[in-house]
A and B are shown apart, each in its own frame.
Chain A
Amino acid sequence: MQRRFVSIWFRHLTTDWLALRRPELKTLPFVFAAPDHGRMLITAANPLAGAQGISPGMALADARALVPSLEMADHIPGKDAKLLKALGEWCIRYTPLVAVDMPDGLVLDISGCAHLWGSERAYLGNIIKVLRSKGYDARGAMADTVGAAWAIARFGKDTPIISPGAQAAALLSLPPAALRLETETLERLEKLGFYHIKSFIGIGRSVLRRRFGTQLLLRLEQALGKEDEPLDLLQPVQPYQERLPCLEPIRTATGIGIAIKKLLDNLCRRLEGEGVGLRTAVLKCYRLDGKVLQVSIGTNKASNFVNHLFRLFELKIPSIEPDLGIELFTLDATKVEEADPEQELLWSPESGGLEDAGLAELLDRLANKIGAANIRRYLPREHYWPERSIKPALSLQDKRATEWRTDRPRPSLLLPRPERIDVTALLPDNPPMLFRYQNKVHKIKKADGPERIEREWWLEQGEHRDYYQVEDESGQRYWVFRSGHYSGDQSGQWFIHGFFA
């Protein structure tokens, strides 16, 4: 999936917050200041103060000289982090993956979320509008990478939304500071006259590394999307995993059974609370000698029912060799889906059909013992060619798209591949009079046909088949066909393909 990120920049985070707490400050220039080396240094200034030339890092006395009416509040250490965390948690309504970007921003991983608001423009517009209406001066941008979104949010001049793949072009005209570089590197770039990213992006990698270190290259690659950038998420998505360390190594089948039951109990309680069930689970047993044994189960229907899942694992217990003993069990639900809450069947259990819970549990057990590939169900397909007229169903819930055809006779048994028979037949296109199959001669008494089935030329090349339904003297019915038109040499043209009921 195309990954998309939104970066939000709070230009006046702490001052906006104070203005919300003390509305009378909204119309006054004010700053936060903190003591530093015996003087007061400004740590944050509100937009009004900023307009008069006051910026963070100035000494408070200098600022007072510029604006005598300047209000001052004490800097609160850690306040910005707290505010960003609260804002980030509020942003979880837009996407579950939100990270705090110190000191003044948020990063949202919005892959696959924007369509819920109609479009990316509406999505970003909604976030920024709501944040601004709450009183925070926010700027946002959207791009394929965290780095590009960060740069556009802070330095972008045109559109805040960078279409997929266009981040390189958007970055060209931005200053090097848009790459989140250290001041030292920035100063060196400034000194060398690199005022825009485009002026050094074309320079060879080795040259850049020698002059500016690996940091510049890493940031550049991250912004372009060539390097992955992990996010420190506010609320990381907890994997569905349970651990059970054992005081004494477990060596018996009963012990393993109890361990599995304990793990399942905990896991299923969590799954049930979240309204989901597991489709696949992996049990890992860490042995004393350092080996890791692994067994996995799968279910046809999402399930969080302990007894059922335990029965699936029970079939696998004999394959676990504890050897010296197992000291740690872990259980991962690798695939989790929404589960329907268990419902009592209204009438008799017979009416369950394919949705029956008992059937699903049975098939799970079978699939875990003999392999899911050996359980098949077929749906009709719109092909006349017999081998292609059915297709395997993907799941129990899979519905047929077309009706089963009943207008043509089809045999009860179909041979996996047609078998050659020796035939005596009237020329050119009568049904056979007798045929020999597996050294037995069948005299044909009655016959129907031919039903010509052409090969589908867009799928394969070859001869058509003329099918006959024939009945021999003892009443046994067969499906035989002649491959292709009658040609002078009859041998090798006739095949048996099935048996009728």
Chain B
Amino acid sequence: MPGTKQDIINKLRKDILLLEGFKPPSAGGVGSIDLGEIESAFPNGVFPVGAIHEMMCASPEHIAASSGFIAGILSPLMKRGGACLWISAGRKLFPPSLMAFNTEPDRMIFIDLQKEKDVLWVTEEALKCEGLAAVIAELQDMSFAESRRLQLAVENSRVTGFILRCDPRKAGTSTCVARWQISSVPSQAEYGLPGVGYPRWQVDLLKVRNGSPGSWQVEWSDGHFVPLEEEKEMHEALVRNIG
């Protein structure tokens, strides 16, 4: 009897997720985004595509780290040939750097605007367009009502959106499915060699709807995300073997 009760609750939870706009990943959908254990923080245990993610970026360093992290997520999203839109006022992103994260820069369309108000309008229009793989917008401020408009657009079109919030002090509630903060951490060159190693980030999942927030460290190497704990173990095993 308790088993069946649990089943019913699980079933109901899944129904609620569906009502809230979470669709279980379809078989023919986008290839899984290999984020390792971070994915377990999300409902259904998959990175939610077709939703809006919020990235907190206080400084240019944060924007750089977030754009690297996003580019890593984009590469499976764009695998099927889709294009991306990068909307911002005062963009500094250097397109060739995307190539390091397996994302083709020539399929990224940049929309450079002068006014903050236009960024919101363009973002909403872009999120309504089904032919896109993802939309990334750099925004200073977004009210709850505006975020709800974006969420409604995304629910119909199933486009994945990333909002870079450049002024985190103004960050209020929003309907975004997850709120991230990506910051760089010191890299480790392989086998104690000198120099700068692969990019490494502290990934803080500050808020996630129907999931459990958490904090991880990941590294981008050889074209995918590597959670750091694993790597440490591998390193220890290697040392042990050599020893």
User: Are the CB atoms of A400 and B96 closer together than 8 Å?
Assistant: no
A289 at the interface (CB under 8 A from B): no
The verdict on A477 contacting B187 (CB below 8 Å), with A359-B131, A370-B118 known, is yes
How far is B109's CA from A356's CA once the two chains are assembled, in angstroms?
A: 13
User: Are the CB atoms of A352 and B131 closer together than 8 Å?
Assistant: yes
User: Are the CB atoms of B196 and A412 closer together than 8 Å?
Assistant: no
B35 at the interface (CB under 8 A from A): no
B100 at the interface (CB under 8 A from A): yes
Determine which residue in A348, A365, A369, A447 has the highest number of CB atoms from chain B within 10 A of its CB, and name it. A348
Please report whether the interface of chain A is mostly helix, strand, loop or mixed according to DSSP: mixed
User: Are the CB atoms of A405 and B186 closer together than 8 Å?
Assistant: no
User: Are the CB atoms of A474 and B108 closer together than 8 Å?
Assistant: no
How far is B93's CA from A471's CA once the two chains are assembled, in angstroms?
A: 19
What mask results when residues 50 to 93 of chain B are scored 1 for a CB within 8 Å of chain A, else 0?
00000000001101110111010000000011110000000011
A461 at the interface (CB under 8 A from B): no
How far is B157's CA from A356's CA once the two chains are assembled, in angstroms?
A: 14
Which residues of chain B are near A445, meaning CB under 8 Å? Answer: 186
Which residues of chain B are near A477, meaning CB under 8 Å? Answer: 64, 184, 187, 196, 199
Determine which residue in B28, B107, B113, B184 has the highest number of CB atoms from chain A within 10 A of its CB, and name it. B184
B150 at the interface (CB under 8 A from A): no
Give A499's nearest chain B residue, CB to CB. B64
* B interface residues, how many (CB within 8 angstroms): 58
Please report whether the interface of chain B is mostly helix, strand, loop or mixed according to DSSP: mixed
User: Are the CB atoms of B111 and A370 closer together than 8 Å?
Assistant: yes
Among the listed stretches A4-12, A135-143, A234-242, A374-382, which one makes contact with chain B, having 4 or more residues with CB under 8 Å of it? A374-382
The verdict on A358 contacting B129 (CB below 8 Å), with A413-B67, A446-B189, A448-B195 known, is yes
A351 at the interface (CB under 8 A from B): yes
How far is B184's CA from A499's CA once the two chains are assembled, in angstroms?
A: 11
Which residues of chain B are near A409, meaning CB under 8 Å? Answer: 100
What mask results when residues 460 to 501 of chain A are scored 1 for a CB within 8 Å of chain B, else 0?
000000000111011111000000000000000000001111
Identify which of residues 350-409 in chain A touch chain B, using a CB-to-CB cut-off of 8 Å. Answer: 350-354, 356-359, 361-363, 365-366, 369-370, 374-380, 386, 389-390, 393, 400, 404-406, 409
User: Are the CB atoms of A406 and B100 closer together than 8 Å?
Assistant: yes
User: Are the CB atoms of B106 and A501 closer together than 8 Å?
Assistant: no
What mask results when residues 180 to 222 of chain B are scored 1 for a CB within 8 Å of chain A, else 0?
0001111101000011110111000000000000000000100
User: Are the CB atoms of B187 and A446 closer together than 8 Å?
Assistant: yes
Which residues of chain A are near B100, meaning CB under 8 Å? Answer: 406, 409-410, 501
How far is B185's CA from A374's CA once the two chains are assembled, in angstroms?
A: 35
B42 at the interface (CB under 8 A from A): no
Partner of A413, one of B93, B121, B130, B185: B93
User: Are the CB atoms of A378 and B110 closer together than 8 Å?
Assistant: yes
Identify which of residues 398-434 in chain A touch chain B, using a CB-to-CB cut-off of 8 Å. Answer: 400, 404-406, 409-416
User: Are the CB atoms of B187 and A353 closer together than 8 Å?
Assistant: no
B112 at the interface (CB under 8 A from A): yes
B238 at the interface (CB under 8 A from A): no
Which residues of chain A are near B195, meaning CB under 8 Å? Answer: 446-448
Instruction: Tell me the A residues contacting B by CB distance below 8 Å.
Output: 348-354, 356-359, 361-363, 365-366, 369-370, 374-380, 386, 389-390, 393, 400, 404-406, 409-416, 445-448, 469-471, 473-477, 498-501
The 6 closest A-B pairs by CB, nearest first: A501-B68, A356-B131, A358-B131, A414-B94, A499-B64, A353-B81
| Sample of 9 A–B contacts (CB below 8 Å) | A361-B129, A374-B111, A377-B109, A404-B96, A410-B100, A413-B64, A448-B195, A469-B196, A471-B187
Given A354-B83, A366-B111, A446-B195, 17 more A-B residue pairs with CB atoms under 8 Å apart are A349-B130, A350-B133, A351-B81, A352-B83, A352-B131, A353-B107, A356-B83, A375-B111, A376-B110, A380-B96, A409-B100, A411-B64, A412-B93, A474-B186, A475-B183, A501-B65, A501-B97
